[in-house]
């Protein structure tokens, strides 16, 4: 348990480093480029993002979750990853002109072609990262991902200053992919093969077909609002919605993306040992909601000053969208880790079906909502999230034996913690003028109340904080 906690701490350190670099980059770029320029890149990134899910064809999850991995399996996995990624690179380049004409954005063609270059570079780095995750070598992952983010930030800002507009964002991704590949080479585990092959790919594809199908359906649900709004409401609306979504995604970047690389191999290891995963999953839910619910309360109440601080006043239209979608983001935090439980226990097909049905409902809600404006799109996102939460709960009950009563017990202290933490932003909103001072006071007071609540309510996070504190003291004593 102690080694798992140390792994989580390093993973959180990586995520917070990446989050800091990302937030700094967002603050700079949002002030250097107008919404229309960012919107063009956003449309291209969303279109390529759909192919991004298919890029390694589920090879990453296969490498982490497989019970055994021979050299033949690894070479087959690399063969599948390279074959699918390079094929998609050609397809994206060919379709870039069609998409540029469809959205009436000529520079979208160049953006998509630059993003396609990543598909030639990423498979080798991605396989290395997946194998490192299987081995829980989080320090090596830290170095590779941090290099990627820093190079992307520096390259993008430099090119934006030179007047490259939306292309600065696309060139930044190419530079970052190349830098990550170069850094990953000396960290590459000796077991990994250099040459791909397709012999034995059938075993990889048997797992990957459903894993990729579920991931692609999930990505399609994320992409649907941007693609629909890009056609019906224009690039500026896509950029505004994207800024709202980016702030909501801060939780995912700071917490979920730090936990998930550790949680999947942890679940998979316990499943291979024949252990009951229900207690581990419910503990994870309790810890996730103990952070997520106070976070979304703070963000929802103080959405406008947060938007002004991070993006500037030209993005004020994103604030009402954040307030609406905070509700669904908070609710979904109860179920966001169910995916890794299902994959680790061999229910990849069920996860794919869950993703597909959820996305269909989401798209059916978003399509008519986009005809009436951004606020209705945000409400449609909430409706789709509520349906997904209900469906995930049904699957948890059937596949893992986790019922509603167990979930409610797991999140009961998180609810009390969120209510206590909410006192700070609500009081700041009522007593102070909007601005950085209001945000600083509310955030500081909320943090204090959160710490008091964790201890007073004996939340499971108290044990994790105590372990982190002991680790820091031991390091300082050395």
**Taking a C-beta distance cutoff of 8 angstroms, is the pair 288, 280 a contact?**
no
Q: Count how many Cα atoms sit within 13 Å of the Cα of residue 120 in the half-sphere of its side chain.
A: 13
One pLDDT digit (tens) per residue for the chain, 478 residues: 445 556 666 666 666 677 778 778 877 888 888 878 888 888 888 777 766 666 655 666 666 666 666 667 777 777 777 777 888 888 888 888 888 888 888 888 998 898 888 888 877 787 777 777 776 677 788 888 888 889 988 999 999 988 888 899 989 988 988 998 888 888 887 777 777 666 655 655 555 555 555 556 556 556 667 677 777 777 777 778 888 888 887 776 666 665 665 555 666 666 666 677 787 788 888 888 888 898 898 888 888 888 888 887 778 888 899 999 988 888 888 888 888 788 777 777 787 788 888 888 888 888 888 888 888 888 998 998 899 999 988 888 887 778 888 888 888 999 999 999 999 888 988 887 877 888 888 888 988 998 898 888 888 877 766 655 565 455 555 4
Cite the DSSP H helix spans in 58-200. 59-65, 71-102, 108-134, 138-161, 166-187
- Sign for the pseudo-dihedral over CA of 155, 160, 163, 169: positive
The token duo for 105 is 């954005």
Q: What is the pTM of this model?
A: 0.62
The token duo for 413 is 């202290």
Query: Distance (Å, rounded) from C-alpha 342 to C-alpha 72?
Result: 26
Show Cβ contacts of residue 122 under 8 Å, excluding neighbours closer than 6 positions.
55, 56, 85, 177, 181
The token duo for 416 is 């009390």
């Amino acid at each position: 348990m102690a080694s798992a906690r140390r792994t989580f701490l390093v993973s959180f350190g990586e995520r917070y480093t990446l989050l800091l670099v990302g937030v700094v980059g967002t603050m700079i770029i949002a002030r250097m480029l107008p919404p229309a320029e960012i919107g063009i890149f956003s449309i291209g990134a969303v279109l390529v993002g759909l192919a991004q899910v298919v890029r390694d064809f589920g090879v990453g999850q296969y490498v982490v979750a497989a019970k055994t991995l021979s050299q033949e399996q690894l070479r087959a996995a690399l063969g599948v990853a390279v074959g699918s990624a390079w094929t998609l690179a050609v397809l994206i380049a060919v379709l870039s002109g069609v998409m540029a004409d469809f959205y009436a954005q000529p520079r979208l063609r160049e953006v998509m072609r630059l993003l396609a270059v990543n598909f030639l570079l990423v498979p080798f780095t991605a396989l290395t990262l997946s194998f490192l995750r299987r081995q829980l070598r989080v320090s090596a992952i830290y170095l590779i991902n941090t290099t990627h983010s820093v190079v992307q930030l520096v390259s993008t800002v430099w090119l934006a200053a030179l007047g490259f507009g939306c292309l600065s964002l696309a060139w930044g991704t190419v530079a970052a992919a190349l830098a990550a590949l170069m850094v990953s080479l000396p960290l590459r585990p000796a077991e990994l093969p250099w040459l791909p092959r397709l012999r034995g790919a059938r075993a990889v594809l048997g797992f990957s077909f459903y894993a990729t199908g579920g991931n692609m359906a999930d990505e399609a649900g994320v992409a649907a609002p941007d693609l629909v709004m890009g056609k019906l409401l224009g690039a500026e609306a896509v950029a505004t919605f994207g800024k709202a979504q980016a702030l909501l995604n801060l939780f995912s970047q700071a917490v979920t993306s730090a936990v998930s690389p550790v949680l999947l191999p942890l679940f998979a290891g316990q499943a291979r040992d024949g252990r009951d995963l229900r207690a581990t999953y419910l503990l994870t839910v309790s810890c996730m909601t103990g952070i997520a619910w106070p976070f979304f309360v703070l963000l929802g109440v103080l959405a406008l000053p947060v938007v002004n601080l991070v993006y500037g006043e030209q993005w004020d239209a994103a604030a009402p969208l954040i307030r609406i979608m905070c509700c669904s983001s908070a609710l979904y935090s109860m179920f966001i880790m169910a995916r890794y439980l299902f994959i680790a226990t061999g229910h990849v097909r069920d996860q794919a079906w869950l993703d597909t049905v959820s996305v269909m409902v989401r798209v059916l809600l978003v399509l008519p909502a986009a005809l009436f404006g951004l606020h209705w799109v945000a409400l449609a996102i909430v409706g789709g999230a509520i349906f997904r939460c209900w469906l995930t709960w049904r699957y948890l009950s059937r596949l893992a034996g986790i019922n509603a009563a167990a979930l409610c017990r797991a999140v009961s202290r998180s609810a009390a913690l969120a209510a206590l933490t909410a006192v700070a932003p609500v009081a700041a909103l009522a007593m102070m003028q909007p601005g950085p001072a209001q945000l600083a006071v509310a955030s500081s007071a909320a943090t204090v109340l959160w710490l008091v609540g964790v201890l007073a309510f004996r939340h499971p996070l108290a044990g994790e904080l105590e372990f982190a504190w002991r680790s820091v003291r031991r390091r300082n004593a050395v």
